[in-house]
């Protein structure tokens, strides 16, 4: 048991109180400096390790596409109906065995140039000209749905193709020209080259192989309750 005698703040002199406050402040500054030093020594190796992993993923992605270069050329030669055609418009290719499956390809987002607004204006003008009865009201709603933009503010190419089929039934010059203007403004944008790989586990289940750091699980038994407290029951 400690034999030190506790002294109430009221029993201390002004100088003693100031000394205690300075000591506490100094301790706080030392702790903060130690924290910053720890961050300074921890961040660089962590980032460098991730840079190494990123470089490995880049090399693995390049090698994977190179693996299938000859296979894709042979596929075109064996299965293409048009022997003069050099490249298939197919955006992805899947190759499978009894235990493994891999898909390589690229993704495309819908894109439009600035003239698309002119086409939309003409289509809207046609919609406004429709008679205001029950049948036309349903048609108006259908057209509006086809012109509805996605979360990024772009028209959906698939819906515009449906709109084209609708325009062919009306034989309205303004409507047809508006849809054509929209189609002519289509500028698809290739966003990324991707790889998806799977394997069949012992339970004959198809399991995706995580290829991004967000989808990779921690090793079995790893715990990190330092990051977020569990919710109380």
CA separation for the pair 197, 60 (Å, rounded): 13
| Strand order across the beta sheet in which 92-96 lies | 92-96, 100-109, 189-200, 206-208
Token pair of 77, please? Answer: 């030669």
Tokens 């429709």 belong to 130
Greater model confidence, 52 or 172 = 52
Q: pLDDT confidence of 22, banded at 50, 70, 90?
A: confident
**Range in 120-134, 165-179, 195-209 the model is least confident about:** 120-134
CA separation for the pair 176, 164 (Å, rounded): 8
Token pair of 229, please? Answer: 């407290």
CA separation for the pair 67, 197 (Å, rounded): 14
**Are 158 and 110 within 8 A, CB to CB?**
no
| 181-230 residue pLDDT tens | 999 999 888 888 899 999 999 999 999 999 887 777 777 777 766 665 55
Rounded average pLDDT over 15-30:
83
Greater model confidence, 97 or 124 = 97
CA separation for the pair 122, 111 (Å, rounded): 19
Q: What is the CA radius of gyration of the chain?
A: 33
| 78-114 residue pLDDT tens | 876 665 655 667 888 999 999 999 999 888 888 898 8
Greater model confidence, 2 or 75 = 75
pLDDT value of residue 1: 44
CA separation for the pair 120, 126 (Å, rounded): 10
Greater model confidence, 80 or 125 = 125
pLDDT value of residue 36: 94
* Burial state string for 30-49 with b = 16 or more CB within 10 A and e = fewer than 16: eeeeeeeeeeeeeeeeeeee
Rounded average pLDDT over 130-146:
76
| 62-76 residue pLDDT tens | 999 988 888 888 888
Transcribe 78-120 into DSSP letters: HH-S-TT--S---SEEEEE-SSEEEEEEEEEE--B-TTHHHHH
pLDDT value of residue 232: 46
CA separation for the pair 22, 83 (Å, rounded): 86
Token pair of 85, please? Answer: 């055609």
Average per-residue pLDDT in the chain? Answer: 83
**Are 179 and 163 within 8 A, CB to CB?**
yes
Transcribe 141-203 into DSSP letters: HHHHHHT---TTS---HHHHHHHHHHHHHH--HHHHHHHHHHHHTB--EEEEEEEEEEEE-TT
């Amino acid at each position: 048991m400690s034999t030190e005698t506790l002294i109430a703040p009221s029993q201390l002199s002004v100088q003693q109180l100031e000394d205690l406050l300075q000591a506490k402040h100094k301790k706080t500054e030392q702790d903060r400096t130690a924290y910053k030093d720890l961050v300074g020594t921890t961040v660089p190796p962590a980032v460098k390790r991730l840079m190494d992993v990123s470089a490995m993923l880049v090399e693995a992605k390049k090698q994977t596409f190179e693996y299938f270069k000859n296979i894709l050329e042979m596929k075109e030669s064996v299965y293409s109906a048009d022997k003069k055609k050099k490249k298939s418009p197919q955006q992805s290719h899947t190759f499978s065995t009894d235990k493994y499956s891999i898909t390589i390809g690229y993704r495309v987002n819908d894109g439009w140039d600035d003239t698309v607004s002119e086409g939309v204006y003409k289509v809207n003008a046609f919609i406004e000209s429709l008679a205001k009865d029950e049948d036309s009201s349903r048609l108006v709603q259908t057209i509006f749905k086809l012109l509805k933009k996605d979360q990024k503010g772009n028209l959906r190419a698939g819906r515009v193709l449906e709109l084209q089929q609708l325009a062919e039934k009306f034989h309205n010059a303004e409507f047809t020209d508006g849809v054509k203007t929209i189609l002519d403004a289509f500028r698809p944008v290739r966003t990324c080259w991707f790889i998806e790989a799977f394997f069949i586990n012992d339970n004959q289940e198809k399991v995706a192989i995580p290829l991004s750091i967000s989808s990779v699980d921690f090793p079995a038994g790893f715990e990190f309750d330092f990051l977020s407290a569990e919710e109380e029951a």
